[in-house]
Structures are given as structure tokens and as C-alpha cells.
Chain A
Amino acid sequence: EAGVTQFPSHSVIEKGQTVTLRCDPISGHDNLYWYRRVMGKEIKFLLHFVKESKQDESGMPNNRFLAERTGGTYSTLKVQPAELEDSGVYFCASSQGTLPRAQYFGPGTRLTVL
């Protein structure tokens, strides 16, 4: 069974540009999460989808971040326009509805904003 995949693995952009990150969850997992780790600090929750609906977006830092999950399969996270403080590693995770509902993480996308 394939794990959670993320694309790209690395992205280097200039301040003001737009970047779109993609996450493909484990097949059959209705729950999809985005997290990020900035500059070696703790991993912070961004948002949670259940199928195509946003269940919890309390961690989204501001309106420059837009997450979508059309059709309830893969998800995208767009940052527009990117700022220096957006640099970090963006992780995606997915889980299924049965216990223990453990979240399985992808390898992350390292975003560098210059």
C-alpha cells in the first residue's frame, strides 16, 4: 500500500511569488491534515479535511494560505503571495475512520522563500 506522498519535495521561490503544494493521502483515508514546521520549532497544525470539507482550519496563519481538496482525494495548499516567514517544512498526513485513527505522514515539502 502506498503511503502519503507530497510534491514537490523542495521548492525555492522569491518573496511575493506563489507556490502550490500537493498531497496525495493513503487511498481510502477520508481525513487529511496539513502541518508545518518552521525553523526547527514544533510542528504546528494548519487544517483538517474530512473528505472534501474543511473540518478544522483553526491553524491557518492568514488569508495568504488556501487549501483545497476537490473530490475528497488529493489536496493542494497554495501560498500567495509568499513571505519570508512562510519558509519551513510542510507536512501532510492522513488517517482513516477506524481506531486508533493514527495519522500517517508524508515526507514533507521543504519551502524556502528568499
Chain B
Amino acid sequence: GEDVEQSLFLSVREGDSSVINCTYTDSSSTYLYWYKQEPGAGLQLLTYIFSNMDMKQDQRLTVLLNKKDKHLSLRIADTQTGDSAIYFCAAAYNQGGKLIFGQGTELSVKP
């Protein structure tokens, strides 16, 4: 069945890079998304990648996709205290269809 998994916690120092990892089980997933949830707030779409891409860069964010291993990662360069939040990986299997979410990774950035 469809499943998406993430590690639950990550702690880094301000200025370091953060790498949040995600694995998914269904190789037919076509769209992969990263969402950010700050305390008390909703889900903010950070970035997305299509399954025919290997990498996408957007300012401090880099998404890497390894389709063979069904592994997705989000790298945040020069991590700031404002990046502290829960990051969710999500997979979609058809255009406009439901998202399958991971459990979320809580990123803690220490000054």
C-alpha cells in the first residue's frame, strides 16, 4: 500500500545545513511535496518536485529525488532559528489526487 516515512526529529545549529529525509513505498507516485508547519499555524507549501526530475533548487532549499531508492530529501542551507518547524513530506499518485503524508520531522534550530 501507499506509505511515506520520515524520521521524527532533527536538531541542528544555526548556520549549519539541515537535511530532512523521506522514503515512500509506491513507485507510481508522480508528485512529491514538502510542507512546513510552524507552531499554531497551518501547512505552508514549501516546494514540490515531479517524478521525472532528480533535483530542484529554490533559494536555500534543495530537493533531491532518488527514484530507484524511493528516497526524497530536503536540504535547507544556512539554517536559521526561523526554520524551526515540522516538515512534512507528501506524495501524490495522480494529478489532483489525495496526498499521502509522512509523520512529519520536527526541526529544532539552536543558536
* Chain B residues near A105 (CB-CB < 8 A): 35, 42-45
* Chain A residues near B101 (CB-CB < 8 A): 35, 42-44
B96 touches A42 (CB 8 A): no
| CB nearest neighbor in B for A95 | B96
Question: CA separation between A91 and B31, bound complex, in Å?
Answer: 20
B48 touches A100 (CB 8 A): yes
* Chain A residues near B92 (CB-CB < 8 A): 101
A42 touches B42 (CB 8 A): no
Is the CB of A14 closer than 8 A to any CB of chain B? no
Q: Which 5 pairs show the lowest CB-CB distances between chains A and B? A: A107-B42, A105-B43, A45-B98, A43-B101, A42-B103
* Chain B residues near A108 (CB-CB < 8 A): 42
Is the CB of A33 closer than 8 A to any CB of chain B? yes
B41 touches A43 (CB 8 A): no
A100 touches B35 (CB 8 A): no
| CB nearest neighbor in A for B35 | A105
Is the CB of B97 closer than 8 A to any CB of chain A? yes
B99 touches A45 (CB 8 A): yes
- Nearest CB of A to B33, in Å: 6
Within 8 A of B (CB), among A70-99: 91, 93, 95, 97, 99
